[in-house]
Structure 1
Amino acid sequence: MNRGTYFAGVGAAGLLAAAVAVLSPHDDPPAPTSAAPAAARPQIVMADGDDRLPSTSATDWVTYADHVVVASAASERRLPLGPTEAARGEGLIGRTVDMRVEKVLWSRKGAPEAAPKRWTYNAAGFALTGGDQKAAAPMALHGRPRMEAGHRYILAIAWEPARCSPGDRPEHARWMGLGEGSELPYDGGVIGQGEMEGRVRTAAQARALAAAGTGEQGLEEEMIGQNASALTARLKAAPATQKQAPSAQARPPACD
C-alpha cells in the first residue's frame, strides 16, 4: 500500500497545522462495474496519523468513548488558506463538516457531557501544490472516512476539554473521535457501506479489503455488513477496562 504524508497527533486536527511533505495517489478498492473510469475520479492525497486513543475493539470503545452515535455529514466548509501558504502557492486548505446526530446508540455512565445533537468536525481538507486553489486535491487519512456531505457514519466520540499551552493558541473544548477504528461508514443502514478514504464502497468491497488486509482485525472489520442494533448489542456485552494514557504527544494543561 502506498503511503503519503505522515501527521502526528489526532486526525484532521494535525492535518490542518502540518505542511505537505509527500503526496501519493489513493489506493482504490475494487470498483463495481458501474463505477466511473479511474481517469474520471479525482486523485486523493493520502496521509497517516497517530490514533489519539485505542479504538480497535469493543472494549476500547466502551472504555474511552463517551457516546456512540449515528451521524450524517450535513454540510462542509472550506477554510481560508493561510497567508504563508497563499504566498507559496502550496500547503493545506482546512475543511470543517457539520455533523448532525440522528441516533445515540450507546452512552458511557458518567459521561461528562450529554451526546451532542450536532457538532463541527475538523476534517481532512485539500492539498494545494500548484497555486490554483480550485484545483487543490482532496485529502484523506488512511483507514478513515473523509466525512463527506450526504453520507452517514457511526462514530465513537469523547468530550475533550479545553486545553492551554504557553505561547500557543488555546484548544477549545470539542467532541473528538478515538482513532482509526472509531469511525465507520453507515450508508443505507449497513456498517462498512459508504464513504471511506474519500471513495464510496459497498459492504462487499469493505469485507474483501478486510479479508485481504494484513493489519489488525478488530470491531470495525467484525461488524461489516451488520446494522446499528448489532453493534449496540456488541458494545453492551463488552467489558470496560482501565484507561491508558493517550499514545500521541502529551496533552497541554487544562485551561483555568
Structure 2
Amino acid sequence: MSRRTRTAAIGAGAALAVSVCALAAVAHSRPAGDTHAQDKGVILAEGNDRHPSRTARDWVTYADYAVVVTALDDSAIEPDADDPDNPVGDSGPVMRKVRLRVDKILWSKEKPAHEPPAAFDWNAFGWHQDEDGERIEMSGAHEPRIEPGHSYVMALQWQAPQCPPGDDPVPGQWRGLGDESTIPYDQGVLGQGEFEGRTRTAPAAEESALPSADPNFGLRDELVGRNAEDLAAKLGETQPGTPETAGEPADACT
C-alpha cells in the first residue's frame, strides 16, 4: 500500500466527530523487541483528510495554531447500547477520548477567532472489535495513534458547533487537518515517538521519510530529526495560500 493512499471515509487526522462510516484496514505486525508489541499488531484505517496537511503552506492556510502537546490519559468511547446502528457486542471500531495538554504555542495565524487551549479532548482511534467482543488496537494509517505519555506537534483548527439535520448537535472542538498535521515529538525531536501505534526512534523516522525529489515530499519529511523551533521558523516564513473551501459548513449552527 502506498504511504499516501487514502481510500475510505474516515480518518483520525481528519478526526471523527460523530460516527464511523467505513473502514479499510490492514494488519500491521510489530518488530521483535517492541515494548508495545501485540501478537495481532495494529489495524490501520484509511480515510479522507478534512484539509490538505502535507506542506507548510497547508498548515498556515488552514490551521489556527501549531502547538506542542502531551497526551495525558485516554478512555474508550463505549458503544451506545440504545443505538440500533451500533449495538454493544457488534463488530466495528471503538473510539477513544484522549486528554491533551498544550505545552507550547509554536505558531498562530494572524487573527485567530479563538484563544489557544491550555488542554483539550481529542477523538482518536481506539480498537477494532470483532464479533466475539475481542478488541485489537487501531490507528489511522500514516499518522500517530495519540497515546498517553507521548508528545506531538499538531496543527489545530477550531471547528464551530454543528447542527446536522436529524442528528444531535456537535459541540465546537479543536480538530486536525489531515494525516500529516500531527508529528511525533518525544524528547524534543520531530518524528521520534509514537506513530501508527508503535514507538520509533528518530533514525527510524528519518529512514522512512520521503526524499526531497519525491512529489509527495512534505513538511514531516523535511524536518524529521529536527526540533519544534525549526518547524516554527518554517511556518513563520511561509505565506498562506487560498483555501480550497471557505465559509462555515452547510450544517453549521445558526
Rounded Cα–Cα distance in structure 2 between residues aligned with 1:53 and 1:192: 21
Rounded Cα–Cα distance in structure 2 between residues aligned with 1:110 and 1:137: 42
CA-to-partner distance for each residue in 1:24-48, whole Å, 9 max, x for gaps? 20165xx5x753596x454211111
Contact 1:5 1:21 (C-alpha < 8 Å) held by counterparts: no
Rounded Cα–Cα distance in structure 1 between residues aligned with 2:6 and 2:17: 9
- CA RMSD in angstroms, aligned pairs only: 2.8
TM-score normalised by structure 1 residue count: 0.86
Contact 1:86 1:131 (C-alpha < 8 Å) held by counterparts: no
CA-to-partner distance for each residue in 1:181-210, whole Å, 9 max, x for gaps? 110000010000000111111111111112
CA-to-partner distance for each residue in 1:81-131, whole Å, 9 max, x for gaps? 233444553122121100100000111111010110000000012111132
Taking structure 1 as reference, are residues 77 and 90 closer, same or farther at Cα in structure 2, changes over 3 Å only? Answer: same
Q: Percent identity?
A: 34
Contact 1:61 1:156 (C-alpha < 8 Å) held by counterparts: yes
- Deviation of the 1:6 alpha carbon: 4.8
Contact 1:162 1:255 (C-alpha < 8 Å) held by counterparts: yes
The aligned counterpart of 2:28 is: 26
TM-score normalised by structure 2 residue count: 0.87
Amino acid in structure 1 at the alignment position of 2:68: V
Structure 2 unaligned residues grouped into runs of 5+: none
The aligned counterpart of 2:34 is: 35
Higher helix share: 1
| Secondary structure in structure 2 of the residue aligned to 1:192 | coil
- Deviation of the 1:159 alpha carbon: 0.5
Contact 1:7 1:15 (C-alpha < 8 Å) held by counterparts: no
CA-to-partner distance for each residue in 1:125-164, whole Å, 9 max, x for gaps? 21111323xx301111111100000000000001110111
The aligned counterpart of 2:228 is: 228
The aligned counterpart of 1:92 is: 93
The aligned counterpart of 2:19 is: 17
Rounded Cα–Cα distance in structure 2 between residues aligned with 1:98 and 1:113: 19
The aligned counterpart of 1:245 is: 245
Rounded Cα–Cα distance in structure 1 between residues aligned with 2:221 and 2:51: 18
Contact 1:189 1:228 (C-alpha < 8 Å) held by counterparts: yes
CA-to-partner distance for each residue in 1:210-236, whole Å, 9 max, x for gaps? 248977110010010000111111111
Rounded Cα–Cα distance in structure 2 between residues aligned with 1:99 and 1:90: 28
